Structure 1
Amino acid sequence: MIPGFGGRRRFSDLSEAEILALAISSEEDDGRIYANYAERLRKDYPASAAVFDAMAAEEDGHRRRLIDAFERRFGKVIPLVRREHVAGYYSRRPVWLIENLGLERIRAEAERMEDEAAAFYTRAAQASTDPDTRRLLGDLAAAERGHEQRAKDLEAQALGGAAGETENEKARRQFVLTWVQPGLAGLMDGSVSTLAPIFATAFATQDPGTTFLVGLAASVGAGISMGFTEAAHDDGVISGRGSPLKRGLASGIMTAVGGLGHALPYLIPHFWTATAIAGLVVFVELWAIAWIQNRFMETPFARAVFQVVLGGALVLAAGIAIGGS
């Protein structure tokens, strides 16, 4: 027996009544998901919340029509058939996971939901040999494609003009404040502040193993410190910078990554080869930071280069000078 598939039936084994029951339960679930999205967005993005309210109402209307069709053909008792009962049927990601990822991610997930449903019904219709079943599955696929177009129409209606621009700008700003800004600060700190101890150790000992251990300790320690500092110094309520956990993770992880970038080359046993690669990594890191500042923080590229590349070069030179003295 395949793990996770015990007791699950294949879609091809379902009767038409069970397929209708599955469609009904799927519409119910999708309607609840859209209602949850609307509730999650209502405070900060009221226009987008209105879109998902309308989409939830659309799903409820489709559910009622499916129930009417079932009752006309098979009676009042609808069997309980859910997505998780059918092997290979498309699944939905947890609402709590998606709704914490921002406005654009929620919109993309809604499109994915409709695409998956339409594609699944289309594939199932192509694989079916029973004319009535093929027609039923084709109708379901058409309904899902109709949902997708209807969602786009609703979005265009609710988010057209100033409302859409305002919400998109607000979502972008929130993404920058919660993820980009702390992550960039961490990457800068990890990339620049660890240069001196790593390269001082490298040129003082000319031992790749010792240099790697120092770099690893400096990077991990700096990551933990920056992560806790970012999470603890601002709960995000007054500043509006978002979840302290998200900001702490972004800052801590990127700090460690910044330091490990030029520590990992010292796993190579040949000192000068490792140092040359580490120097190349530093060059790439510093220019990447300058690009991120220009791309997300709207810092003029020349100023970003001056601040980051020149500053990093000075720290690197200090580390080499101290280690070589």
Structure 2
Amino acid sequence: MFTRFFSFSRRAFSSLSEQEVLALAISSEEDDARIYRAYADGLREDYPHSAKVFEAMAEEEDRHRGALIEMHRKRFGERIPLIRREHVRGYYERKPDWLVRPLGLETVRAQAELMEEQAHRFYVEAAKRTQDAATRKLLGDLAAAEKGHETLAQRLGEEHLPEGARAEEEKTERRQFILTYVQPGLAGLMDGSVSTLAPIFAAAFATGDTWQTFLVGLAASIGAGISMGFTEVASDDGVISGRGSPIKRGLTTGIMTTVGGLGHALPYLIPDFSTATTLAIIVVFIELWAIAFIQNRYMETPWSRATFQVVLGGALVFAAGMLIGNA
């Protein structure tokens, strides 16, 4: 492990021969083509037009690899040394597609831009290390090609991603984000903020003890978070509904439920009862309006209905907690 950490088993790029530089370029182009095809496969179902863009990018990498192999054959023969990225100290690394899933459009586009920038730098440095004119020209041309991949992506995007298709894919991505994160998170935040109002304020007004009230709020928040998280995971595996990973939805729901409850429980860490209660009421007010805003912003719920559902509902639960606590 320590050997890998300190890179003692790796070669310095400056120590590579011209043949080894060509071999490294060949294996790198091959890996990049595989990554682009993996991106295409991962995007094809939801974003078919963008998948075509990455298929074309993979074909471009194949052409680069072919040119490099031909140059190696002319200069060094048929046998290509085995040298890959992980064998060279300080060389850039590539993340396989399974490490960057889910393959959202912005994720793969950003990753592709980074890949092109790194490949450009490699070819610029590789060209400096060769004395052969033809090899130097090829590496320089590939550096320019990688630099121009942004233009290539734009050109391919115009060909495979007409304006209507681009808008459709962006709409699909936004919908997936809402179904996987916003909707479960909003449900958790609403449950945590509203359902814990009654027990927390009932405990506060019944005992007048800030520490006991905090413990009740902490228990209610964590218990509600665990319950809501497991309920979300068990309710839908996401296969038919298309709502995404149940684990992600469950974690989002559970965390936001706990956060929603803790928001107005934490003020009771303040020893003074009046100060803690006043601050807790202010936090509740902010929480309820934040939920109404999220409903309006992401769920496209009209302000009037969001206000009625959340703010009025929360106020009624808060009033119930006060009445019970003072009974």
Instruction: Report the TM-score range of the alignment, normalised by the length of the smaller protein.
Output: 0.7 to 0.9
Residue of structure 2 in register with 1:159 after alignment? 161
Q: Is the 8 A contact 2:197 2:318 kept in 1?
A: yes
Q: Distance in 2 between matches of 1:265 and 1:2?
A: 50
Shift of 1:185: 0.8
Q: Cα RMSD between the aligned structures?
A: 2.8
Shift of 1:194: 1.2
Q: Distance in 1 between matches of 2:129 and 2:34?
A: 33
Shift of 1:131: 7.9
Is it true that 1:144 corresponds to 2:146 in the alignment?
Answer: yes
Q: Distance in 1 between matches of 2:187 and 2:194?
A: 11
Shift of 1:138: 5.3
Q: Is the 8 A contact 2:100 2:107 kept in 1?
A: yes
The 5-angstrom pairing of residues 112-127 of structure 1 reads: 112-119=114-121, 124=125
**Residue 49 (structure 1) aligned to one of 48, 51, 59:** 51
**Residue 91 (structure 2) aligned to one of 85, 89, 95:** 89
Q: C-alpha offsets along residues 279-300 of structure 1, whole Å, 9 cap, x if unaligned?
A: 3332332222122111111112
TM-score, L = length of structure 1: 0.87
More displaced, 135-144 or 253-262?
135-144
Q: Distance in 2 between matches of 1:129 and 1:32?
A: 27
Residue of structure 2 in register with 1:212 after alignment? 214
Residue of structure 2 in register with 1:237 after alignment? 239
Q: C-alpha offsets along residues 73-95 of structure 1, whole Å, 9 cap, x if unaligned?
A: 33333222222222332222231
Structure 2, unaligned runs of 5 or more: none
Q: Is the 8 A contact 2:35 2:96 kept in 1?
A: no
Q: Distance in 2 between matches of 1:115 and 1:32?
A: 18
Residue of structure 2 in register with 1:16 after alignment? 18
The 5-angstrom pairing of residues 181-192 of structure 1 reads: 181-192=183-194
Residue of structure 1 in register with 2:30 after alignment? 28
Aligned pairs, number: 323
Q: Report the residue type matching 2:253 in the other structure.
A: S
| Alpha-carbon spacing, 1:322–1:42, altered in 2? closer, same or farther (3 Å) | same
Shift of 1:130: 8.1
Is it true that 1:177 corresponds to 2:179 in the alignment?
Answer: yes
Q: Is the 8 A contact 1:58 1:147 kept in 2?
A: no
Q: Is the 8 A contact 1:195 1:315 kept in 2?
A: yes
More displaced, 78-87 or 261-270?
261-270
| Alpha-carbon spacing, 1:61–1:277, altered in 2? closer, same or farther (3 Å) | farther
Q: Is the 8 A contact 1:227 1:251 kept in 2?
A: yes
Is it true that 1:227 corresponds to 2:229 in the alignment?
Answer: yes
Indicate the structure (1 or 2) with the bigger Cα radius of gyration: 2
| Alpha-carbon spacing, 1:136–1:268, altered in 2? closer, same or farther (3 Å) | farther
Q: Is the 8 A contact 2:18 2:130 kept in 1?
A: no
Residue of structure 1 in register with 2:82 after alignment? 80
| Alpha-carbon spacing, 1:112–1:322, altered in 2? closer, same or farther (3 Å) | farther
Q: C-alpha offsets along residues 219-248 of structure 1, whole Å, 9 cap, x if unaligned?
A: 121111111212212222332323322222
SS in 2 for 1:240: coil
Q: Distance in 2 between matches of 1:313 and 1:119?
A: 60
More displaced, 93-102 or 176-185?
93-102
Q: C-alpha offsets along residues 42-81 of structure 1, whole Å, 9 cap, x if unaligned?
A: 2332212211111111111111112223333333332222
TM-score, L = length of structure 2: 0.86
Shift of 1:125: 7.3
**Residue 41 (structure 2) aligned to one of 26, 36, 39:** 39
Q: Distance in 1 between matches of 2:119 and 2:304?
A: 48
Could you tell me the percent identity over the aligned residues? 67
